[in-house]
Structure 1
Amino acid sequence: MKRFLFTAFTILTAFILLSLILINKKMYIDKEITIPKGSSTFEIGEILEKEGVIINKYIFIIYTKIHKDETIKAGTYQFKGNYSLKDIYEKLAKGEVKLRLFTIVPGDNLLDIAEKLEKENILKKEDFIKFVFNKENVKKYGLVGESFEGYFPPESYALDEKETVETLIAKFLELFKKRYLPYKEKIESKDYSQFYKKRITFYEAMIIASLIEKETYIPEEKPIIASVIFNRLKANMKLDIDPTVIYALRLKNLYSGNLTKENMRIDSPFNTYKYKGLPPTPICSFSLSSLEAVLNPAKTNYFYYVLSKDRKRHIFSDNYQDHLKNVKENIKSY
């Protein structure tokens, strides 16, 4: 009996020592593995052993039992470097899933973002659109407007495998509040009398910034475009901005890629060829340079502009006759 106990003790001691060695021994791993939702500890151990991430699944299982207060998170994990079993467990328990970059570029609207999200297998387009065009959801976040249009800043965002519409919006709005919201007080305290009216709201500034974003990519032109928009608003003229018509068409899934005369007559509050004033919401995400152009517009007498022959700049004019001449000289080359 003593010999049996001694032998059992020796085997147990050897197993514990071996386990400690394997738990702390590091080895180089270059693997991407996925832990499915609902996987048991045994199933996870089998996946890790099969993929060569750990040497022995049973030691892994025992280790997880010792640390039963922590739960392994499902998701896709990237391993590249030297890891011990302990390192691997900690990575899985912390849920350090593989991150991917999702990019919103200046000029993207909510429909563009929805299409990208679906294309990159992050969210279904319909689910995103249903949420972000719901006015009640906008109110829940304490925001102004009929949709979240304009509130998602251009940037590359690090996303994980578990994103929902809510977690995405939290990421987008966190950056908006940090980078864009500081302009609110500056804009709403500025006297715009010489440009338009004495005060404009921050949301009006967001709408104008989105129009500027769609009209030019040239930084030095943005304050001039802002000036034209303000001048037309002050003169009670329609803005006549093509991208607003395109936005109206896209909202109704009617845009084919070209604007026709029939398109220009679409009955929508976004159609600035049909209705005076600003559209009801921004029409896209916009860069800070566009918002800064609203804060510091140029002081001009311009009411019109047209893209130049080489498509590298706009030609501005203060009267309709000169504008028609500029259009005739430049538009034929498009």
Structure 2
Amino acid sequence: MIRRRFYFSVLLVVALLSLASGLGWGVWTAISQQKLISGNESRTVYLAKGDGLLRLAYQLWDQRATRALWHTVITSEALGLSGRLQAGEYRITPDQTLESFLNSIVKGERIQRRLVVPEGLSSKQVAILVENSFGIEVSRPITISEGSVLPDTYFYERGETADAIISRMQTALASELERLWDQRANDLPIKSKAEAIILASIVEKETAVARERPLVAAVFINRLRQGMRLQSDPTIIYGITQGLPLGRGITRSELRTETPYNTYRINGLPPGPIANAGLDSIKAVLNPPDVPYYYFVADGSGGHAFAKTLKEHNRNVAKWRQIEKNL
């Protein structure tokens, strides 16, 4: 700290002497109005908490945005901005002057970075996404309860902690779930918000086609009402990998293996979610359409063929097997 103050004092003295020696106020004005960069490029400057004017001056000089360290110092002092600089990441835009850039730091016009969390990621995958996002501070291994975050686009500032961002994701889900739960249909075979999230996560993993989510949800709701097993392949995969991709097809032995998540072998819902469900899947589970379907299978078009009876379903399965052979 003492060394920083010393260097700052030296720079300030040099700057003031330069002005006093005849360079004049007009020279300072020219410096403050100099364009930091030209062309279409932009650059970034980051001030961590505790960084001050000297650190800023060095970064601008190091990026060749200013010709000398004292340019930033004297401009900031002349404008009365030195003690008002805010920590954060800032963008230097083309043709921006030194004065306008300093004012943007005082105003806290920080860069907003974007983190996109797609629907259907497991919490392990969300953790990997957060850990590998530039500018997020990760101080310890990230652990997230499965199904506890809302897939969405989140904006953050460089230096924000992973814990803070994940907390925002979880708060967003809790808020939306509370609202949707109050609007749910009557006589659902799911008795709690936790069960709704479990089923919504299965719907999310069963189809990537938005228009099918209500139909898939309806099939599972109908099966639960009749005491039928869900028989969902994604639940088997989760029981094997705990949220990571399997990378291959499910084997016959895995279909027969009893795990808490194998819905071919257990009755009702698995013990927890298998992914982070989006709002559309949650809505579909809480307000499913009134359709008579109990089965579905891939139809070769990226979607599924839905059936009322096992006989009809078996015909759809045979068609799908033929399509698989021709792939």
Query: By the TM > 0.5 criterion, same fold?
Result: yes
The one-letter amino acid of 1:182's match is: R
Cα gap change, 1:265 to 1:123, in 2 (>3 Å): farther
Classify the secondary structure of the residue corresponding to 1:83: coil
For residue 52 of structure 1, the aligned residue among 64, 67, 90 is 64
2:186 is matched with 191
Name the TM-score, length of structure 1 as normaliser. 0.75
Q: Please say if residues 23 and 85 of structure 1, whose CA atoms lie closer than 8 Å, have aligned partners that are also in contact.
A: yes
Return structure 1 stretches of 4+ with deviation > 6 angstroms.
none
1:115 is matched with 128
Classify the secondary structure of the residue corresponding to 1:108: coil
Q: Please say if residues 110 and 284 of structure 1, whose CA atoms lie closer than 8 Å, have aligned partners that are also in contact.
A: yes
Q: Please say if residues 147 and 198 of structure 2, whose CA atoms lie closer than 8 Å, have aligned partners that are also in contact.
A: no
Classify the secondary structure of the residue corresponding to 2:252: coil
* 1:100 maps onto 2:95 in alignment: no
Cα gap change, 1:45 to 1:312, in 2 (>3 Å): closer
In 1: Cα distance, 2:257 partner to 2:107 partner: 52
2:28 is matched with 19
1:139 is matched with none
Higher alpha-carbon deviation: 175-184 or 51-60? 175-184
Structure 1: 5+ residue stretches without partners? 1-7, 133-146
How far 1:17 sits from its partner (Å)?
A: 4.2
2:320 is matched with 330
In 1: Cα distance, 2:19 partner to 2:124 partner: 67
How far 1:203 sits from its partner (Å)?
A: 2.9
2:165 is matched with 168
In 2: Cα distance, 1:253 partner to 1:273 partner: 20
How far 1:97 sits from its partner (Å)?
A: 4.4
1:138 is matched with none
* 1:230 maps onto 2:221 in alignment: yes
1:274 is matched with 265
In 2: Cα distance, 1:110 partner to 1:178 partner: 19
Q: Please say if residues 236 and 254 of structure 2, whose CA atoms lie closer than 8 Å, have aligned partners that are also in contact.
A: yes
Classify the secondary structure of the residue corresponding to 1:281: coil
The one-letter amino acid of 2:302's match is: K
Summarize deviations over 1:182-236 as a string: whole Å, max 9, x none.
212112xx312xxx44x73233222222222221233333222222111211222
Cα gap change, 1:119 to 1:331, in 2 (>3 Å): farther
In 2: Cα distance, 1:254 partner to 1:183 partner: 30
In 2: Cα distance, 1:55 partner to 1:115 partner: 41
Q: Please say if residues 113 and 157 of structure 2, whose CA atoms lie closer than 8 Å, have aligned partners that are also in contact.
A: yes
Q: Please say if residues 110 and 129 of structure 1, whose CA atoms lie closer than 8 Å, have aligned partners that are also in contact.
A: no
Cα gap change, 1:257 to 1:97, in 2 (>3 Å): farther
* 1:91 maps onto 2:89 in alignment: no
The one-letter amino acid of 2:120's match is: G
Q: Percent same amino acid at aligned positions?
A: 23
> What are the equivalent positions in structure 2 for 1:1-334 lying under 5 Å apart?
11=20, 14-25=23-34, 29=38, 30-35=41-46, 37=48, 41-64=53-76, 66-73=80-87, 75=89, 77-93=90-106, 96-121=109-134, 127=140, 129-130=142-143, 132=144, 147-153=145-151, 155-173=152-170, 175-176=172-173, 180-187=177-184, 190-192=185-187, 196-197=188-189, 200-251=191-242, 255-308=246-299, 310-334=300-324
Q: Please say if residues 54 and 73 of structure 2, whose CA atoms lie closer than 8 Å, have aligned partners that are also in contact.
A: yes
Structure 2: 5+ residue stretches without partners? 1-16
Q: Please say if residues 123 and 147 of structure 2, whose CA atoms lie closer than 8 Å, have aligned partners that are also in contact.
A: yes
The one-letter amino acid of 1:156's match is: T
How far 1:23 sits from its partner (Å)?
A: 2.5
Classify the secondary structure of the residue corresponding to 1:82: coil
The one-letter amino acid of 2:228's match is: M
In 1: Cα distance, 2:93 partner to 2:106 partner: 17
The one-letter amino acid of 2:27's match is: L
Q: Please say if residues 210 and 284 of structure 1, whose CA atoms lie closer than 8 Å, have aligned partners that are also in contact.
A: yes
How far 1:102 sits from its partner (Å)?
A: 2.0
Classify the secondary structure of the residue corresponding to 2:83: coil
Aligned length: 303
Summarize deviations over 1:149-168 as a string: whole Å, max 9, x none.
14222x33233321322221
Summarize deviations over 1:283-310 as a string: whole Å, max 9, x none.
22333332222233122332221111x2
Q: Please say if residues 114 and 125 of structure 1, whose CA atoms lie closer than 8 Å, have aligned partners that are also in contact.
A: no
Name the TM-score, length of structure 2 as normaliser. 0.77
The one-letter amino acid of 1:50's match is: D
State the Cα RMSD in Å.
3.4
Higher alpha-carbon deviation: 276-285 or 13-22? 13-22
The one-letter amino acid of 1:160's match is: E
